[in-house]
Amino acid sequence: MQQFFESVVTLIVRTSTDLPPDVRAAMKHAMAAEDGASRAGQALAIIGQNIDQASDLEGAICQDTGMPTFEVKTPVGADQIWMKKQIKEAIAEATRRGKLRPNSVDSITGENSGNNLGPGTPVIHFEQWERDDIEVKLLLKGGGCENMNAQYSLPSELAHLGRADRTLDGVRKAILHAVWNAQGKGCAPGAIGVCIGGDRTSGYVEAKQQLFRSLDDINPDPRLAELEADILRTANTLGVGPMGFGGKVSLIGCKIGVQNRLPASFFVSIAYDCWAYRRLGVTLDSSTGAITSWLYRDPSVATIPMMDQAGFTRTGREIRLEAPIDEATVRSLKVGDVVLISGRAYTGRDAVHHHLSEHAPPVDLRGGVIYHCGPVVAKRADGSWHVTAAGPTTSIREEPYQADIIGRYGVRAVIGKGGMAGKTLAGLKQHGAVYLNAIGGAAQFYARCIERVDGVSLTEFGTPEAMWHLQLKDFPAIVTMDAHGNSLHKDLEQESSEKLAQLAVK
Ligand code: SF4
């Protein structure tokens, strides 16, 4: 089994950097469905370009390389304790190589372990089977989409849909509610794994298991096959669209499993995955550990690029912003404007926002740009830093802090994804600032919009949470919340809720 370790490293690297063919096909279908000149079409062009850049250069598709979940099947008598140690070492090695972002933090202190290892990380499930070879499957699922998971206890009264009973129609309502509720926060278009039944714990486990199915398979249970097709069709009439920008494609897959339940319980558990649906697998020779075949992809078939033309192309209507930005410029922007940002931006996620709510910033933020981003950053031989993956993180987590930070320190623009809520919207209007939605998961694309790293503050929070001083060049984003009290997110949530209400009766 001397090759087991390197085989698992290869699986991790490939999963993080090369989207499987079934997901690529679904995303190509989405690109064909949306008007290329629309917000949805532009978002998908950036995503398509990002997918190609990631596989061409073996870079992380998204900077959030997620919670690694392994499903391992072994012959009877195999040494699972040894394999577990090897898998953990492979995770640490892939992190060292920059293919995984250090993502495992102490839940109480927030301290990052630095190597993706710690209690509960990675998740490894073993099962014995009667075959002689070993199967290892891996899912990398990020935090933004994980936060959109949902569990419903039926019967339940659902906003806009009314009562969901303990019937397949009630299950349908719960699933549609979850897709609607995710809006763009989980980087739509997404795919969902669903479990009907089980208990609270086994329901979520089975829902995640469903994400190991191929997007193009057909459920062997005809009732569930029909429900899956119905959900896929119906969810795509809600108008949530890519990134929650509005559009025809909100969902690229729906996979449903069933578990028996206690008579007193009826749970519907939903695991929401984003477009960066990273899932691959291998079979290994049980005497050498060498890879004998790949699952979900045929290595003899060359990867078909997502883009058969240039990716994101400028229309000439984009507005150039140069940071620091003055108030008059910011107040002239309106929802729907596409901007190209150049100049200094500072990254800030949860730890930075919490810190700034109680302490003065380590840099002058007047006229500045805060980027909700936890980048993957590598050190060159000469000691300088460079960013290898840098897409936006979900902004709503900073809602309790953002308006105060904007007002107190004179911030003029916040870049993130998924939008923010009423307190921030009021703060933008009061202080003269805008919220700019970048394309979630487009980590390779945006890394190329960062000319250099000029410094870093607050390194005690760990690499993803530190405040990186970035020099941007023509970084594209869309104004989705302006200084006049307008919010694209609020408007689209309202419109899609009206469509959801119309679906209450099939
Ligand atoms: S694509 Fe979006 S939701 Fe998915 S892992 Fe990346 S940031 Fe998170």
Q: Read off the pLDDT of residues 88-136 as tens digits, 9 standing for 90 and up.
A: 999 999 999 999 999 999 999 999 999 999 999 999 999 999 999 999 9
The distance from CA 199 to its chain's CA centroid, rounded to whole angstroms, is: 27
Q: Is the pLDDT of residue 506 over 60?
A: no
DSSP bridge partners of 343: 472
Q: What b/e readout covers 373-408, taking b as 16+ CB neighbours within 10 angstroms? A: bbbbbeeeeeeebebbbbbbbbbbbbeebbbbbbee
**464 vs 12: CA distance, rounded Å:** 20
**pLDDT category, 312, cuts 50, 70, 90?**
confident
443-52-229 Cα angle (round to 5): 90
For position 310, what pLDDT does the model report? 65
Average pLDDT over residues 296-321: 84
Using the mean position of ligand 1's atoms as its centre, give its distance from the Cα of residue 367 in Å.
28
427 φ, ψ to 5°?
-65, -40
Alpha-carbon span 26 to 243, nearest angstrom: 16
Residues ≥6 apart with Cβ < 8 Å to 419: 183, 184, 185, 244, 395, 396, 435, 437, 480, 481, 487, 488, 489, 490
Return phi, psi of residue 33, to 5°: -80, -25
- CA 186 / ligand 1 centre spacing (Å): 6
Distance from the CA of 119 to the center of ligand 1, in angstroms? 23
Q: Specify the pairing of strand 156-158 against strand 150-153.
A: unpaired
Surface-to-core class of residue 422, CB atoms within 10 Å of its CB (0-12 exposed, 13-18 middle, 19+ buried): exposed
- In this predicted model, which residue has the larger pLDDT, 145 or 504? 145
What distance in Å separates the CA atoms of residue 64 and residue 324, rounded to the nearest whole number? 28
Site to probe by mutation for ligand 1, drawn from 141, 187, 415 as the one with most ligand atoms within 8 Å of Cβ, is 187
Both ends of the chain: CA-CA distance in Å?
Answer: 55
Q: Do you find a cis peptide bond into 155, omega within 30 degrees of 0?
A: yes
Contact at 8 Å (CB) between 139 and 279?
A: yes
How many whole angstroms separate alpha carbon 356 and alpha carbon 319? 30
Distance in Å, CA 149 to ligand 1 centroid: 13
The minimum-distance atom of ligand 1 relative to the CA of 142 is 5
User: Is a pLDDT exceeding 60 seen at residue 297?
Assistant: yes
Helix (H) / strand (E) containing 6:
helix 4-17
Q: Given this model, what pLDDT does residue 503 score?
A: 85
Nearest C-alpha to atom 1 of ligand 1 is from which residue?
441
* Nearest residue (CA) to ligand 1, atom 4: 274
Counting from 1 in the atom list of ligand 1, the atom nearest the Cα of 65 is: 5
Percentage, residues of the chain above pLDDT 70: 99
Ligand 1 atom at minimal distance to the Cα of residue 64 = 5
pLDDT at position 453 is 97
Q: How many Å lie between the centroid of ligand 1 and the Cα of residue 481?
A: 21
Nearest CA to ligand 1 atom 5: 142
pLDDT bin (cut points 50, 70, 90) of residue 308 is confident
pLDDT of residue 284: 98
Residues with CB under 6 A from ligand 1: 62, 64, 66, 142-145, 186-187, 274, 276, 391, 440-441
Asked if pLDDT for residue 74 goes beyond 90, the answer is yes
- The number of residues making up the chain comes to 506
Query: What is the pTM for the complete model shown?
Result: 0.94
